[in-house]
Amino acid sequence: MIPAAFDYAAPTTVDEALALLAEHGEDAKLIAGGQSLLPVLRLRLNAPEFVIDLGRIDALRGVRDDGGALVVGAMTTHATVATDPLIAQHAALVSKAVRTVADAQVRNRGTFGGALAHADPAGDVGAPALALGAQFVIAEQGGGRRTVDAGDFFVDLFETAIGEDELLTEIRIPKHTGWGAHYEKFVRIAQQWSIVAVAATVRAEGGTIAEARVALTNMGATPLRATAVEELLRGRPATEDAIRDAVSSVADGTSPPADLNGDADYRRHLARVLTRRAVLTAATG
């Protein structure tokens, strides 16, 4: 299976990439690591006339410390994010979730920003970014940058706040130093997309949950932040019974998909079980 023919450019700066986007409009498609796009092109589910490769823009790669936040370049690979010591120290939830993405070969090519911009509801990077209150830096035509909060970034199925003539440059992740973290992913076979997964990070104080942040993967068209459950967890003892009670409403009001892997009720059940496990592990290690 071979993609339909397209023209190709590999700009070396964000400005050049933006100019190409402006020039080619809706005929153009950005390629980051290509691990989701290339299968789509090969199956000819999409056939852009022009492909703009972001792989030569060095400024979009790397992780840096910016005081209260870590800044992850959009073209940083999953493999780099998963093993980066700064991320492990200050945003452990991201390290743990990214290690579950696809398989090693895909993590060596696939990028953190590419996966976030692709916004597959079963992808594993959206929920941790949402739980940690990440901010998304988007390059606009004309050289400006705007910043979008995680709560506004995910708009719908495969749809984000990034405009057609814009591109994602950086993800700013507020530091959660010392917080326990766990990503509980439910799949039935290796290298499967999440049927349901739960991202949880907890600041524990002497056996009590002082603060918790929880987000759900594949329980709707976008990652979902479980803010009501976060409030219920505050001040609870970090025990299985107390957490089970606090998270029992986590699936209320969700509209999870129904497919061959499970119907919506099954996914709601999974969300309750996986949230309990994720929070308990995050709180107690």
Residues at the contact surface with other proteins, assessed by CB under 8 A: 1-8, 10, 31, 34-35, 38-39, 41-42, 51, 53, 55, 79, 102-106, 108-109, 190-191
Per-position b or e across 121-151, b if 16+ CB within 10 A of its CB: bbbbbbbbbbbbbbbbbbbeeeeeeeebebe
Question: In angstroms, what is the minimal distance from the CB of 281 to other proteins?
Answer: 18
Residue (42 or 64) nearer to other proteins, CB? 42
Minimum Å gap between C-beta 207 and other proteins is: 30
Strand-pairing partners, residue 164, are none
CB of 57 to other proteins, least distance (A): 13
* Shortest separation between residue 80's beta carbon and other proteins, angstroms: 10
Nearer to other proteins, 15 or 53 (CB): 53
3 vs 133 by CB, closer to other proteins: 3
Q: Alpha helix locations (H) across 29-84?
A: 37-42, 78-83
Closer to other proteins by Cβ: residue 40 or 264: 40
Dig out the tokens for 164 from the structure.
């057609």
β partners of residue 160: 154
Give phi and psi for 236, each to the nearest 5: -80, 150
Other CB atoms within a 10 A radius of the CB of residue 163 amount to 12
- The least CB distance from residue 55 to other proteins, in Å, is 6
Q: Would you say 53 or 165 has its CB closer to other proteins?
A: 53
> 81-87: long-range contacts (C-beta < 8 A, 24 or more apart)?
81/112, 82/107, 87/63, 87/173
